[in-house]
Structure 1
Amino acid sequence: MSRIETSPLTKQVYEIIRKKIISREYVAGDKLDIQTLADTFGVSRSPVKDAINQLVHEGLIEVIPRKGTYVTELKLTEFLEVLDARLMIEKWAAEEIIGTITEEQIQIWSEIVKQMDALLEVNPFPFEEYSSLDMNFHKLLIGWAKNTRVKEIYFSLNTHVSLSRVVYSTSLESTVIRHKDHWDLVEAMKNRDLSTFSEILTKHINSLKAEAESRWDETIHA
């Protein structure tokens, strides 16, 4: 592996480790040795420790006293709770912005969904690329609400969602079904229809929860 040569080192180490977790190169339960990571990346222990601390804060890594540092084991109940929290925050954000959202912002949302449309036609389906656009679609909603603390909390939640999506990798069929929800959300926001927006969003999140519950054991150990 090529060594890290530019600064800030902590951010680079953080991004590399995070990517390895998201891509499942480091899987749940793997022990991460700080000195080994430092040697691998060609850096001192300090930026590795700082990066580990950030990932602990996000919940991707856990430190077990007198045992070591491990990639966090995912639990279905925790994932479902994250989705519940995400739903609450997104509903709040929609209520905050529905009266002030601009045509330009709605156009930005529409363009993201168009890109997602195009990916659904690609074979093999680029799941991670689609998932990245999907997450950006929802993150924009939170960002437009302009509450820094809520945004930080939400982005931390979405780290878990991102990891869990990779773990249980929803089927293309169910992704296509849920995809239509994004256009419906855009339309509801365009019409300033908060009730319809909340109804669609609830259906969207509940669909993710139902699929996770039905497939978790099958995919978490795949």
Structure 2
Amino acid sequence: MDQNKFPATTDDVYSHIRKRILKMELEPGQKISENQMAEEYGVSRSIIHSAFVRLNQQGLLTVFPQRGTYVTLIDLSFIENLLVLRCAVEKEVIYELFEQLDEAKKKELIENLEDNLRRQEAYRDALDYDLNFQDLDSEFHKLIISSVGRYKLVEILWDPMLHIARWRNFDVSFDRRMPELIKEHRKIVEALKGDDYVQVQKAMAEHLETITSIKGRAMEKYPQYFTE
């Protein structure tokens, strides 16, 4: 690894290792060490140790005494529960959106979502969950949640939602789901444009429930990645 490409601060090293875990570059179950990472990043072991402590607190690294440090396996039961929680937040937001936003505010939201969707189209043929598309995906949901002033709920859940981000990276790459993600976002917007509360709720739930359809196949192909 070219050390000149990477900053030497604890925060930046932590952020970069976290990104590698979320992108599955460091695979679930993979053993890593402070010495190894210190050499890769060209920093002291104390910096790596501090980064490892934060990643362990977030559940992305697991430390086994006398055995070493491993990238935490993907706990599908935990992910399923997080997705239920995330869906509950977004459904509440949709309820408040229909209750609180006047026509002008709804129109403004839909226009912003349409602009976001136009930019998403550039990534339709991407083979994985492109980082730029991830930003657009986050922006899409933030526009909806912030329209009723509820984005603080997402911030409260930030650390647990990192596990959803890692699952999403796997999910999109596993089934080449970029076109489907864009289609799901489009379905949400079309239901909003139709002022159809029930269909917006349904479209959002279908968009966020990402485990059922691939769980069996994923565990069969990559059994080393998962725990239940």
The answer (yes or no) to whether the contact 1:167–1:220 under 8 Å persists in 2 is no
Greater displacement, 130-139 / 53-62: 130-139
Query: In structure 1, what is the equivalent of residue 61 of structure 2?
Result: 61
Compute the displacement of 1:193 (Å).
4.0
Compute the displacement of 1:90 (Å).
1.4
Q: Give 5+ residue unaligned stretches, structure 2.
A: none
Aligned ranges 1:79-118 → 2 under 5 Å = 79-98=79-98, 99-100=100-101, 101=105, 103-118=107-122
Instruction: Spell out, residue by residue over 1:106-163, the C-alpha distance to the aligned partner (whole angstroms, 9 max, x if none).
Output: 333222212223322x3xx342224553344224434445446522244334322221
Q: Secondary structure at the match of 2:57?
A: helix
CA–CA distance in 2 between the matches of 1:95 and 1:51? 40
Compute the displacement of 1:72 (Å).
0.5
Normalising by structure 2, we get a TM-score of 0.76
Q: Secondary structure at the match of 2:213?
A: helix
Give the AA of the match of 1:128.
Answer: Y
The answer (yes or no) to whether the contact 1:31–1:68 under 8 Å persists in 2 is yes
Which structure is richer in relative contact order (CA contacts within 8 A, separation 6 or more)? 2
Query: In structure 2, what is the equivalent of residue 220 of structure 1?
Result: 222
The answer (yes or no) to whether the contact 2:129–2:178 under 8 Å persists in 1 is no
Give the AA of the match of 1:209.
Answer: I
Query: In structure 2, what is the equivalent of residue 2 of structure 1?
Result: 3
> Are the structure 2 counterparts of residues 147 and 126 from structure 1 closer, same or farther at C-alpha, using a change threshold of 3 Å?
same
Count, aligned residues: 216
Compute the displacement of 1:41 (Å).
1.5
Aligned ranges 1:127-206 → 2 under 5 Å = 127-129=128-130, 130-147=133-150, 149-168=152-171, 169-172=173-176, 175-190=178-193, 193-206=196-209
CA–CA distance in 1 between the matches of 2:143 and 2:55? 23
Q: 1:211 aligns with which of 210, 213, 217?
A: 213
